[in-house]
Amino acid sequence: MNTIDKFNEHVVHSYGRYPLVMDNGSGRRCSDENGKEYIDFGSGIGTNSLGYCDEKWADAVCRQVRTLQHNSNYYYTAVQAEFAEKLCNTAGYESVFFCNSGAEANECAIKTARKYSFDKYGKGRHNIITLVNSFHGRTMATLSATGQDVFHNYFFPFLEGFIYSPANDIKALEEKLDDTVCAVMIEYIQGEGGVNTLDKEFVDTIYSICSQKDILVIADEVQSGVGRTGKFLAGEWYGKKADITTLAKGIAGGLPMGACLFSEKVKDVLTPGTHGSTFGGNPVSCAGGLAVLERLNSDGFLEQVSEKAEYIRNILMSSPEVASVSGKGLMIGISLKTKKAADIAGKALEKGLLVLTAKDKVRLLPPLTISKDELDEGLKILLGILEE
Ligand SMILES: *Cc1c(COP(=O)(O)O)cnc(C)c1O
């Protein structure tokens, strides 16, 4: 039986998949089982931040897997300590809880916000405002937090205590920020929701009201964080630091890892027994994460992300089929005039280019290490299809 048939017989059909069996990767390219190569403009799904099987990253990971692959969080490990220190220093946070995915990082943020408020004010201040078109994950709490009706189906009852407010609507938000609210949770750039960037004025208003009322700001930077936008955190573009920031996707270069970062105000909210994860902070993932941080912190790395971003954006805007280009840095949404994003993704695949979609946009999340030549090669394919 071939791979696809075997897969479909035994793996649950919870994804719409392309009929393509991935086999291996190197640099910014991966190959399918027939040896056909693809330039990957999606970094997997924003995960392979350094591309495929980066040499230094792979060495670090292999070294760790041969030293200590896992242990219990009832003990300490040097690699987790090292990663936590570097991550907190790089991001500007006090402490971190490690988990395994974006949804888990957001679960941790939600629990922490509610406990912060409960510890200080008692019951009844548990509501969390999230934005319409947000995406926060697939667990029950994070689905409930996700401000999209299409996700609020089948699995009733959802969690109470999430209130949705439209992005960039200051008045609507102000009306909802009453004394039942413990946190506002935002993506500075909504990823799955269509690469929509929040206005500076809207973000400023959130922060100013929240600081007056001791409401926490949670920034879900699962997609926008770890250098994706040309800063370590997208919040830096706004000059803002959330009380809690969540990271995952690209943080460990393609290994499962999520992180919930705490500022001074909330760093002691979680106490022994209140939260945990068997695999959270797994040594192998931490070793991968350290390799990613080392690269991101190397001289000029983030600057070259921004330079490439400007380059790619200018070329995209030159296409008559492109209506607009949204997002920031190498988190890119392309609105098309006449064509459908899903059709473009399918055609690109045939021609050896992987792109993502988000709502009605073509979405690009290229590896942060992509070269100009590789960008040119992929863009040529993409523009060719757009102008067919
Ligand atoms: C992908 C994503 C998530 C969910 O992450 P998982 O690792 O799939 O649980 C949450 N928030 C944002 C902004 C994301 O892009």
Whether 59 is in a domain gets the answer no
Q: Are residues 305 and 193 in the same domain?
A: no
Contact 148, 137 (CB under 8 A): no
**Total domains in the fold of the chain:** 2
Contact 367, 48 (CB under 8 A): yes
- Show which residues are catalytic: 135, 220, 249
- At 24, which CATH number? 3.90.1150.10
- At 146, which CATH number? 3.40.640.10
Whether 113 is in a domain gets the answer yes
Residues flanking ligand 1, CB < 6 Å: 101-103, 106, 135-137, 187, 191-192, 220, 222-223, 248-249
pLDDT reported for residue 315: 98
Point out which residues pair with 41 in neighbouring strands.
Answer: none
Whether 340 is in a domain gets the answer yes
Q: Are residues 22 and 121 in the same domain?
A: no
Q: Are residues 277 and 322 in the same domain?
A: no
Q: Are residues 246 and 130 in the same domain?
A: yes
pLDDT reported for residue 1: 85
Q: Which atom of ligand 1 lies nearest, measured to the CA of 142?
A: 10
Mutate to test the pocket of ligand 1, among 136, 142, 196, 260 (most ligand atoms within 8 A of CB): 136
What is the 3-class SS of the chain, one letter each residue? CCHHHHHHHHCCCCCCCCCCCEEEEEECEEEECCCCEEEECCHHHHCCCCCECCHHHHHHHHHHHCCCCCCCCCCCCHHHHHHHHHHHHHHCCCEEEEECCHHHHHHHHHHHHHHHHHHHHCCCCCEEEEEECCCCCCCHHHHHHCECHHHCCCCCCCCCCEEEECCCCHHHHHHHCCCCEEEEEECCEECCCCCEECCHHHHHHHHHHHHHHCCEEEEECCCCCCCCCCCCCHHHHHCCCCCEEEECHHHHCCCCCEEEEECHHHCCCCCCCCCCCCCCCCHHHHHHHHHHHHHHCCCCHHHHHHHHHHHHHHHHHCCCCEEEEEEECCEEEEEECCCCHHHHHHHHHHCCEECEEECCEEEECCCCCCCHHHHHHHHHHHHHHHCC
Q: What is the pTM of this model?
A: 0.98
pLDDT reported for residue 211: 98
Q: Are residues 210 and 266 in the same domain?
A: yes
Q: Are residues 193 and 206 in the same domain?
A: yes
Q: Are residues 239 and 375 in the same domain?
A: no
Whether 196 is in a domain gets the answer yes
Q: Which atom of ligand 1 lies nearest, measured to the CA of 246?
A: 11
CA of 122 to the centre of ligand 1 (A): 30
Mutate to test the pocket of ligand 1, among 133, 192, 228, 328 (most ligand atoms within 8 A of CB): 192
Domain boundary among 243, 268, 296: 296
Whether 62 is in a domain gets the answer no
CA of 105 to the centre of ligand 1 (A): 9
Contact 219, 247 (CB under 8 A): no
Domain boundary among 255, 278, 296: 296
Q: Are residues 289 and 305 in the same domain?
A: no
Domain boundary among 271, 296, 321: 296
Per-residue pLDDT of the chain (388 residues; tens, 9 = 90+): 899 999 999 999 999 999 999 999 999 999 999 999 999 999 999 999 999 999 999 999 999 999 999 999 999 999 999 999 999 999 999 999 999 999 999 999 999 999 999 999 999 999 999 999 999 999 999 999 999 999 999 999 999 999 999 999 999 999 999 999 999 999 999 999 999 999 999 999 999 999 999 999 999 999 999 999 999 999 999 999 999 999 999 999 999 999 999 999 999 999 999 999 999 999 999 999 999 999 999 999 999 999 999 999 999 999 999 999 999 999 999 999 999 999 999 999 999 999 999 999 999 999 999 999 999 999 999 999 999 9
Q: Which atom of ligand 1 lies nearest, measured to the CA of 192?
A: 15
Domain of 374 in residue numbering reads as 3-54+300-386
Q: Are residues 343 and 253 in the same domain?
A: no
